[in-house]
A and B are shown apart, each in its own frame.
Chain A
Amino acid sequence: MIHVILDYGVGNLASLQSGFERAGLESIITQDPSIIEKATSLVLPGVGAFEPAMKRLNEKNFIPLLKAHVKAGKPLLGICLGMQLLYETSLEHGTHQGLGFLKGTVEPLVKAPKIPHMGWNNLTFHTTSPLLLGILIESYVYFVHSYYAVSTQDDWVATTTHGEIIPAIVAHKNVIGMQFHPEKSARVGEQLLKNYGRWIDEYHSVNGSI
């Protein structure tokens, strides 16, 4: 299984790929539509602002590919800004339309004591997801962001608190989001990526190929 990391010109993908490698997961960074189409596991990274990121996805004609991927029931993992793009709308510098795979709005962290929310913060679990296998309660992961997803609690796997309750890991069927950087979150982040990989392998063995 090769995890396909979508390169749309946003963020440092080498670090993310190293994170996958340390977790024992094979990955490829690509802009090639034919590879993206064939992907079982698609990873949507991202740092920076919402609108330029959506614009880049649009310019590269990646939005229909992402929609087809999710519609086919294949796993999509959004990381940091990549998670925020999964939602319907963002209020970052205006109102902007997102990919709409998850219900909710991305809003500014107005109640946070310090912005950006930057550093190690601890997780509170909301479900018994396979993504949390081997992760201790109150484990710390590394966040860097100023906006957060205001969404239905049904999708919450884990949250953290920084002025507001912030969804940290979300999952709705085949769509998963991580607000923090698993590749920068020491052993906890590595275990979370391993869990994601294992979950995909199970998906793969049930749903077959590509």
Chain B
Amino acid sequence: MLAKRIIPCLDVNQGRVVKGQQFKSLKDVADPATLALRYSNEGADELVFYDITASSDERKISHAFVSQVAQQINIPFCVGGGISSVEDMHFILRQGADKISINTAAVLNPQLIKEGALRFGSQCIVLSVDAKKEGDEYLVYTHGGRQKTDLNVIEWIKKAVALGAGEIVLNTIDTDGELKGYDTLLIKMISNLVPVPVIASGGAGEIHHFVEAAKAGAEGLLAASVFHFETISIQDVKEALYKEGIPVRRHP
């Protein structure tokens, strides 16, 4: 039986990992490959890197971290941030990444999902969606959650899966950084809606949050700050899931 995946998420700026910017006192940085290896040894099932480097020229240099990570770790990893063409995808995959995550670029040009899926296979194409509740519906936001669109989250995800997206990272802006739990209602809705795996993102602060999201149907549980600041260990999350009868890879 497929194990639920625990996925630490790392933000990379100019080739360095920047840790949780919402905590203003902590600005320390780390080398992506070193931190990736630590997470991998601690039992992470997969890693996600978001390159938040502002300019596209600098991002090209920043992306050198991908091949270093590929050499170091023996688990799959996904890279996102500023990928806007099939050529960008090809470059990242050739450096050793297993998956590509796209968000704003896919909203601006949905055919990018199709082109990527046809060329590299749906398993490589992850659609990351920033969702925010507006009244009784969820709307898609782009540009790192700063820009509102008129796209309905459910309609957008249905369309993206039809175009070939092989996995959905569902990030809810309202819960992100709040450490009060994932939006399990939306997770349940989307997992019932599409046949591809849904990764819960945004809001993990305590161990039971992971369990709730897994029970709501998430195949993967993504978190950043609780792992960065070591408030929760990956192994403890896995043991909690295991005790609830949820399949996990307990031995790293």
Chain A residues in the interface with B (C-beta under 8 A): 12, 14-15, 18-19, 22, 47-48, 114-122, 136, 139-140, 142, 144, 161-162, 181, 183-187, 189-190
Stretch touching chain A among B22-30, B92-100, B152-160, B176-184 = B92-100
Please tell me if the beta carbons of A119 and B70 are within 8 angstroms of each other in the complex. Answer: no
6 residue pairs from A and B, CB less than 8 Å apart: A119-B2, A119-B45, A140-B3, A144-B123, A161-B1, A162-B1
Known: A118-B166, A120-B2. A12 touches B94 (CB 8 A): yes
Q: Which of B51-83 contact A (CB under 8 A)?
A: 67, 70-71, 74-76
Q: At the interface, yes or no: B252 with Cβ under 8 Å from chain A? A: yes
The 0/1 profile, CB within 8 Å of A marked 1, for residues 238-252 of chain B is 000000000101011
Bound Cα distance A19, B219 (Å): 26
Known contacts A118-B197, A142-B76, A162-B2: does B249 contact A18 (CB below 8 Å)? no
Contacting pair A136 B2 (CB below 8 A): no
Q: Give B192 Cβ to nearest chain A Cβ, in Å.
A: 13
Give the residue among B71, B76, B167, B251 with the most A Cβ atoms within 10 A: B76
State the B residues within 8 Å of A (CB): 1-3, 5, 40, 45, 67, 70-71, 74-76, 93-94, 96, 98, 121-123, 166-167, 195-197, 219, 247, 249, 251-252
Q: Which of B45, B123, B166, B247 has the most CB of A within 10 A?
A: B123
Q: Give Cα distance in the complex from A117 to B3, angstroms.
A: 11
Contact assessment for A119 and B252 in the assembled complex, using a CB-CB cutoff below 8 Å: no
Q: Which 10 A-B pairs have the closest CB atoms?
A: A140-B249, A120-B3, A119-B2, A15-B96, A120-B249, A184-B76, A18-B71, A116-B123, A144-B123, A186-B74
Give the complex CA separation of A12 and B98 in angstroms. Answer: 9
Contact of A19 among B74, B247, B249 (CB under 8 A): B74
Chain B min CB distance to A104 (Å): 23
Give complex CA distance A11, B110 in Å.
Answer: 25
- The answer to whether residues A136 and B251 also contact, given A14-B96, A47-B121 and a CB cut-off of 8 A, is yes
CA distance A142 to B70 in the complex (A): 15
CB distance from B249 to the nearest CB of A (A): 4
Shortest B200–chain A CB gap in Å is 15
Contact of B74 among A12, A120, A136, A184 (CB under 8 A): A184
Kindly list chain B residues whose C-beta atoms are within 8 Å of the C-beta of A189.
Answer: 74
Please name the residue on chain A nearest to B247 by beta carbon. Answer: A122
Given contacts A22-B74, A187-B74, contact A120 B123 (CB under 8 A): no
Q: With A and B bound together, what is the CA distance between A30 and B96 in angstroms?
A: 18
Our pick among A15, A114, A140, A190 for the contact of B195 (Cβ within 8 Å) is: A114
Report B48 CB to chain A, min CB distance, Å: 14
Instruction: Give complex CA distance A118, B96 in Å.
Output: 17
Measured CA separation A120–B250 after assembly (Å): 11
Q: List chain B residues, Cβ under 8 A from A144.
A: 98, 123
Q: Which of A139, A162, A184 contacts B75 (CB 8 A)?
A: A184
Closest to A15 in B: B96
Contact in complex: B93, A12 (CB < 8 Å): yes
Q: Which of B67, B121, B123, B195 contacts A14 (CB 8 A)?
A: B67
**Contact indicator B166/A121 (Cβ below 8 Å):** no
Task: Determine how close the nearest CB of chain A comes to the CB of B109; give it in whole angstroms.
Answer: 24
**Contact across chains for A183 and B74 when beta carbons are under 8 A apart:** yes
A139 and B67: CB pair below 8 A? Answer: no
Rounded to whole angstroms, the CA-CA distance of A196 and B136 in the bound complex is: 56
A142 to B75 alpha-carbon distance, docked (Å): 8
Residues of A within 8 A of B67 (CB): 14
Closest to B196 in A: A114
